[in-house]
Amino acid sequence: MAKEYKFPEGFWWGSATSATQIEGAASEDGKGMNVWDYWYKQVPNRFFNGVGPDVTSDFYHRYKDDIKLMKEIGHNSFRFSISWSRLIPGGVGEVNKKAVDFYNDVINELLENGIMPIATLFHFDMPIEMQHIGGFESRQVLENYKNYAKTCFELFGDRVKRWITFNEPIVPAEGGYLYNFHYPDIVDFKKAIQVCFNTVLASAMAINEFKKLEIKDSKIGIVLNLTPSYPRSNHPADLKAAEIADLLFNRSFLDPCVKGEYPEKLVELLKSYNHLPVYTEDDLELIKNNTVDYLGVNYYQPRRVKAKENMPNPYGVFTPDWFFDEYVMPGRRMNPYRGWEIYEKGIYDILINVRDNYGNIESYISENGMGVEGEERFIKDGIIQDDYRIEFIKGHLKWLHKAIEEGCNVKGYHLWSFMDNWSFLNAYKNRYGLVSVDITTQKRTIKKSGYWFKELARNNGFSE
pLDDT of residue 23: 98
- Angle 118-153-203 (CA atoms, 0-180°, nearest 5)? 75
pLDDT of residue 90: 97
Q: How many CA atoms within 13 Å lie on the side-chain side of 286? A: 18
Distances (CA, A) of 53 to 26, 82, 418: 7, 15, 18
pLDDT of residue 339: 87
Q: Nearest 10 degrees: CA dihedral of 179, 137, 31, 160? A: 100
Pairing type for strands 363-367 and 410-415 reads parallel
Decide: helix, strand or coil at residue 326.
strand
439 burial class (0-12, 13-18, 19+ CB within 10 angstroms)? middle
- List the catalytic residue out of 367, 373, 406, 455: 367
pTM of the entire predicted model? 0.97
Give all domains of the chain, ordered by start, each with its CATH number: 4-463 (3.20.20.80)
Strand partners, 294: 221
Spatial separation of the C-alpha atoms in residues 243 and 231, rounded to whole Å: 9
- The answer to whether the beta carbons of residues 328 and 305 sit under 8 Å apart is no
For residue 331, is it left (φ>0), alpha (ψ between -120 and 50) or beta?
left
Q: Catalytic site residue 367?
A: yes
Mean pLDDT split into 10-residue runs, the chain, 464 residues? 93 98 97 97 93 95 98 98 98 98 98 98 98 98 98 98 98 96 95 98 98 95 97 98 98 98 98 98 98 98 97 93 96 91 98 98 98 95 96 98 98 97 92 95 97 98 94
Specify the amino acid at residue 330.
Answer: P
pLDDT of residue 336: 87
- Of 21, 24, 223, nearest in space to 120 by CA: 223
